[in-house]
Each structure stands twice: as C-alpha cells, then as structure tokens.
Amino acid sequence: MIGPNVTITTTGHPIRPDLREGMTQFSLPVTIGCNVWLGANVTVLPGVTIGENSVIGACSLVTKDIPANVVAYGQPCKVVRAINAHDETYYWRGRVINPPFDKR
C-alpha cells in the first residue's frame, strides 16, 4: 500500500559542486518487498531496500535499508519495533477491532 504524496527516488547527485557542475548523476534501484505499507508523505532514497510486510510511518525519510516484518518511522527512518503477536489485535481510539471486522 502506498499512501498519498509518497516519493520514491532512484536518482541522486554528488555533493561536491565540481562534480555536479558536469551534470553528473547516479541511479540506484529501490526494492520494496511484498505487502509493504508506505504511509503518507514518505520519501525513499536511491539504493534502499524495504523488507516484506514492513510498515513505514507517515512523513518518514528512508535513507537506509529496512528489514522485513518491522514498524519503522522518522527522519531518518529507524526501526521502532518488530511486527508481532500484539498486532493480531487492532485498536482504534481505545476500541478493539478484530477480524471479522464489526460493521458499526
């Protein structure tokens, strides 16, 4: 899932002005595993790999690889915790929501 305003960049440029002057750029692939959720306004930089099933929180700047099955967020994006049995129950504003989801 990809939230609104997500930016996935594969091209960058050198920091040194003399190298940039010649319009030198580089491109590196971005790899996003199966069932990844990128929240709104996430930016993923060149060369990054995000492991399967991971969740990247809104407004994160992903500068380095993120392993599979974790929740990560921040600027720069860092792993906060693993996805585990606690996530089998979903809470929204103090209300427990379990599959099959109720229809209230």
Q: Which domains does the chain show, CATH number per domain?
A: 7-97 (2.160.10.10)
Active site residue 13: yes
Q: Report the C-alpha gap between 1 and 53 in whole angstroms.
A: 10
Decide: 61 and 41 in contact? Cβ < 8 Å. no
Which of 5, 7, 12, 13 is an active site residue? 13
- Give this prediction's pTM: 0.84
78, two tokens: 């860092």
Identify any residues that bridge with 85 across adjacent strands, giving them in sequence order: none
pLDDT digit string, tens, across residues 49-100: 999 999 999 999 999 999 999 999 999 999 999 999 888 888 888 888 776 6
